[in-house]
Copies of this chain bind each other. A is one copy, B any other.
């Protein structure tokens, strides 16, 4: 690491200010309003007893996610996908990523025949919305599972949540690997990567894309190292927010 200072004064391996407002929603079984700097995502978990038809009778649960962005979350207004009548490829891609990331830390047998849908709605965007969504969704998920246990939809001895999971973006800008890119950094990045890492430090997803020039193994390794460290930091925030075990 060099002592380069970024536009917002951060070190290259430093996260933006992270806040997690757990239990933001009065209605949802679990919820969190998470901020990664100027990126704010409202994550709500909806718990339903029962599973989709294709899973019925297998003794297993289901966790899925939907991601969306408010029309003026970004610098200029985007048309609503509901008005356009179809969901864009980017939205689909991110929804699927969040769902897979969460399922990686859930034991579906232990969850039993219950379904949890996590909605991640970006209220304000400044880069890293999908990683903030995953990180916040974990908190909402944890509370929804706790709710299900209290309501006896989940067995008292079951432990559906087998690990924590967090995500962060990393990228190379002017040849320098950096952690948790803000929007102004993201658009300048030559390589952009999102890593999803469990509490044990294992990878759930690694998605690296050369936006400019292709990247080599050494750069990839540097990015992964930054990402794993960033996710460990995020885990600390997650655990702190879940500390006073509430409902």
Residues of A near any B CB (own CB < 8 A):
25-28, 31, 38, 42, 44, 46, 48, 66, 68, 70-77, 80-93, 95-96, 100, 104, 117, 119, 121, 123-124, 126, 163, 193, 198, 200-210, 213-217, 220, 224
Contacts and interface: CB of A to CB of B under 8 A. Distances in A.
Number of copies: 6
Contacts of A82: 68, 80-82, 84, 86-87, 91
Contacts of A84: 82
**Chain A's interface: helix, strand, loop or mixed, by majority?**
mixed
A71 B31 CA distance: 13
12 contacts: A26-B38, A27-B124, A66-B80, A66-B83, A70-B121, A72-B119, A88-B92, A205-B208, A205-B209, A205-B210, A206-B206, A206-B207
Nearest to A93: B93
A202 B124 CA distance: 35
B204 A207 contact: no
A48 B79 CA distance: 14
A25 B46 CA distance: 26
Given A72-B46, A100-B209, A204 B214 contact: yes
A89 B68 CA distance: 14
A229 to B, nearest CB: 13
Contacts of A72: 25, 27-28, 31, 44, 46, 119
Nearest to A125: B27
A104 B204 CA distance: 26
A66 B70 contact: no
Contacts of A100: 209
Given A82-B86, A123-B123, A203-B210, 15 more contacts: A26-B126, A27-B74, A31-B72, A44-B71, A46-B71, A68-B82, A82-B84, A88-B92, A89-B92, A93-B93, A200-B214, A201-B216, A202-B213, A205-B209, A207-B208
A74 to B, nearest CB: 6
Nearest to A38: B26
A204 B193 CA distance: 11
Contact of A210 (B25, B85, B86, B104): B104
B88 A86 contact: no
Contacts of A198: 214
Nearest to A81: B82
A70 to B, nearest CB: 5
